[in-house]
Amino acid sequence: MEITIMRVGTVTERLHALEPGAGVGIRGPLGQPYPLDKYKGREVLIVGGGVGLAPLRALLFALFEDMDAYKKIIVRYGARTPKDIVYKDAVLKGWDKKNLDVMLTVDVKDDTWKGNEGVVTTILEKDKLSADTKNGVAVVCGPPVMMKFTTFKLLELGYPPESIYLSMEKNMSCGIGKCGHCRIGPYYACKDGPVFTYSMIQSEQKIWD
């Protein structure tokens, strides 16, 4: 089992300072997984932003185990700068898989960056994306504002709401659907999600907050 932890504050600083063999507590897994059976025989577009690539990496590894079951796997990933790219070595090498279409972008480039500059929706334009939008599925994970505008772009491209899968990461306190902190309308991210189709939650207010 592998866990990705970004060093961003007091708790994660302490975790990064631990020595090999130190004990940590883990609660989970919570909620529902990606429904891989519904993806089989279809194109799978994966759109990640920032550290949102962490759960998508696990999905990708699951898809890699049976790549012939999917018509095509497409990855579109954006980070703030080249230094912020998660799993940089693997991503830049395209995970060394055939039939895998990978494109990256950064919001702000530096002298080392030769790829696209702009938010992730700029690499979802038709000149940079060849996808079966009517019959394929799209999976999105990243910061709320990125997920919001990515979802709108996918709808514009022709993906049906029921074919857009969103990883709605919320503050899961109790983990059993009782405290209400992760509630999205009638759903709880901790037990009903965090993976929802856009059709399930599109009528709820403030889903991107």
146-162 pLDDT, tens digit each: 999 999 999 999 999 99
Contact between 17 and 109 under an 8 Å Cβ cutoff? The reply is: no
Position 205 scores a pLDDT of: 86
In a domain, 178, yes or no: no
Position 5 scores a pLDDT of: 87
Say how many C-beta atoms besides its own lie within 10 A of residue 196's C-beta: 23
| Three-state secondary-structure class, residue 80 | coil
In a domain, 183, yes or no: no
In a domain, 1, yes or no: no
Per-residue pLDDT for 2 more than 90? no
| Backbone dihedral angles phi then psi of residue 197, each to the nearest 5 degrees | -80, 150
Confidence of residue 209 (pLDDT cuts 50, 70, 90): confident
Position 87 scores a pLDDT of: 85
Contact between 193 and 30 under an 8 Å Cβ cutoff? The reply is: no
Mean pLDDT, residues 85-98 taken together? 75
Largest CA distance in the chain: 50
Position 3 scores a pLDDT of: 83
In a domain, 194, yes or no: no
In a domain, 203, yes or no: no
Q: What is the CATH number of the domain that holds 140?
A: 3.40.50.80
In a domain, 123, yes or no: yes
Position 94 scores a pLDDT of: 65
Burial of 17 (0-12, 13-18, 19+ CB in 10 A): exposed
Per-residue pLDDT for 96 more than 90? no
- Provide the phi-psi class of 138: left if phi over 0, else alpha when psi is between -120 and 50, else beta: beta
In a domain, 3, yes or no: no
Position 156 scores a pLDDT of: 96
Position 90 scores a pLDDT of: 75
With CA atoms as reference, report the closest residue to 124 among 99, 150, 106.
150
Cα(152)–Cα(169) distance, integer angstroms: 18
- pLDDT tens digits, one per residue of 48-77: 999 889 889 989 999 999 999 999 999 999
Mean pLDDT, residues 22-39 taken together? 90
Give me the number of domains the chain comprises. Answer: 1
Position 55 scores a pLDDT of: 87
Confidence of residue 91 (pLDDT cuts 50, 70, 90): confident
In a domain, 8, yes or no: no
Mean pLDDT, residues 80-103 taken together? 81
Q: Which domain holds residue 156?
A: 32-167
